[in-house]
């Protein structure tokens, strides 16, 4: 009996942790599954990519990978916290052209045709809030930045991984946001965190929506999603295209290289600018994260005139030096004659900005 108690109590604690910890988001229900089954990308049990996708990781690889991930190697993170420019509301609102601010990793604040919105505004301090080991952000006090933002017409989410969608940011944002456009399955997390279902639009690949004068299209990517041990691929993933009569923007979302970039370009391009995922790669998970050379290829194949590499400069989620993604991107972009921008954290940028200089 005593042995059962010693075994049972920790087990109950673990089960309670998974059930009641709000970080995990909304519980998957039978009604959700019924809804998702209407998607051509749901195979009856989970969402799937357009091409076969798996990571080259076995159970025996995991202990070594975890040790390597948390080893204090030189150059895998900045020597000091990365500064972020203070938000300048007047300057942000004064221009009529497409404007964006990058806050590291995948967090962006944007303005297009007078509409203000954010993409993947994960502004929290930790990309592993449920793990025994923390993944600290390279910059400090980023959650406070949300307080200085104006009200947002919308927030767009590419998928529900912790480095893109976090509970703390939602609690700051939910009083500021008019509408939420998200991948299929992400809505249940927002609802659990206090967002009204009437203000959430879930989207499948190639679905369209209208935000003011902006046409939004949710586009394919090659990735996966999930926030807990039982919901892997039970929500969807993708990228965004935003088009007006004057400007066209492509945000690739997370994912490995595949033929969808060319398809997006043919269907919806050309694009004035492409925000292309670039960072947190490893040969063992190449199918779900691009290497920098592939990031350049994604921009060119999607018929983009200019590119911004993102998914770096925020967290240490892979084994490479923290500036390697952007440095390799620059080399390959120059070789391919692709124009690019290298935004400083917190700085206001427009389409007319030329090739930036390395700031790190």
CATH number at residue 157: 3.60.15.10
Q: pTM score, two decimals?
A: 0.92
CB neighbourhood size of 114 (10 A) = 12
On whether residue 17 sits in a domain, the answer given is no
Q: What pLDDT is recorded for position 132? A: 73
pLDDT confidence of residue 130? 84
Range of the domain at 265: 29-350
Task: Provide the pLDDT for residue 11.
Answer: 38
For residue 11, being part of any structural domain is answered with: no
List helix spans (H) across 182-231: 187-192
Q: In this structure, is residue 236 part of a structural domain?
A: yes
Distances in Å between the Cα of 360 and the Cα atoms of 6, 56, 105, 334 are 52, 32, 14, 19
Q: Are 225 and 204 in contact (CB under 8 A)?
A: no
pLDDT of residue 6: 47
Residue 5 has a pLDDT of: 47
Helices (H), the chain: 2-20, 30-36, 62-69, 89-94, 167-173, 187-192, 260-268, 292-301, 324-335
Mean pLDDT in order along the chain per 10 residues (360 residues): 47 44 93 97 97 72 58 84 97 94 98 97 94 89 98 98 98 97 98 98 98 98 95 97 98 98 98 98 96 98 98 97 98 97 97 87
Identify the H or E element spanning 18: helix 2-20
pLDDT on residue 1: 52
Rounded to whole angstroms, the Cα distance separating 24 from 28 reads 11
| Total count of domains within the chain | 1
> How far apart (Å, rounded) are the C-alpha atoms in residues 276 and 168?
26
Does a structural domain hold residue 21? no
For tokens 């933002």, what's the residue?
A: 149
In 3D space, the residue among 238, 159, 155 whose CA is nearest the CA of residue 199 turns out to be 155
Quote the pLDDT of residue 124.
Answer: 98
Query: Do the domain assignments include residue 7?
Result: no
Q: Given the structure tokens 């007047």, which residue do they identify? A: 90
Tracing tokens 């010693």 back to the chain, one arrives at: 6
* 9 in any annotated domain: no
Helix residue spans in 74-133 (DSSP H): 89-94
Residue 171 lies in a domain: yes
pLDDT for 353 equals 85
Residue 61 lies in a domain: yes
Task: Return the SS3 of 348.
Answer: strand
Q: Is 227 helix (H, G, I), strand (E, B) or coil?
A: coil
């Amino acid at each position: 009996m005593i042995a059962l108690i010693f075994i049972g109590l920790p087990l109950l604690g673990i089960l309670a942790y998974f059930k009641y910890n709000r970080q995990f988001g909304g519980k998957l229900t039978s009604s959700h599954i019924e809804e998702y089954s209407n998607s051509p990308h749901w195979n009856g049990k989970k969402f799937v990519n357009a091409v076969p996708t798996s990571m080259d990781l076995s159970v025996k690889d995991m202990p070594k990978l975890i040790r390597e991930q948390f080893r204090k190697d030189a150059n895998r993170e900045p020597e000091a916290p990365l500064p972020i420019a203070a938000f300048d509301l007047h300057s942000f609102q004064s221009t009529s052209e497409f404007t964006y601010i990058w806050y590291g990793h995948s967090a962006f604040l944007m303005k297009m045709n007078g509409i203000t919105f954010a993409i993947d505004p994960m502004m929290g301090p930790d990309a592993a809030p449920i793990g025994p080991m923390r993944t600290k952000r390279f910059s400090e006090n980023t959650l406070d930045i949300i307080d200085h933002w104006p009200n947002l017409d919308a927030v767009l989410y590419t998928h529900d991984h912790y480095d893109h969608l976090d509970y703390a940011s939602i609690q700051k944002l939910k009083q500021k946001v008019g509408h939420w456009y998200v991948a299929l399955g992400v809505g249940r997390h927002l609802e659990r965190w206090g967002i009204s279902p009437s203000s959430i639009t879930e989207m499948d690949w190639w679905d369209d929506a209208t935000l003011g004068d902006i046409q939004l299209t949710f586009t394919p990517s090659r990735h996966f999603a999930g926030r807990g041990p039982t919901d892997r691929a039970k929500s969807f993933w993708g990228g965004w295209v935003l088009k007006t009569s004057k400007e066209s923007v492509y945000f690739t979302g997370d994912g490995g290289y595949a033929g969808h970039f060319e398809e997006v370009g043919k269907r919806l391009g050309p694009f004035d600018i492409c925000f292309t995922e670039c960072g947190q790669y490893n040969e063992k998970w190449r199918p779900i994260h691009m290497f920098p050379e592939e990031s350049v290829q994604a921009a060119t194949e999607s018929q983009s005139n200019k590119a911004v590499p993102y998914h770096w400069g925020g967290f240490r989620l892979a084994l490479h030096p923290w500036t390697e993604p952007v440095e390799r991107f620059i080399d390959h972009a120059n070789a391919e004659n692709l124009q690019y921008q290298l935004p400083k954290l917190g700085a206001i940028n427009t389409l007319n900005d030329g090739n930036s200089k390395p700031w790190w």
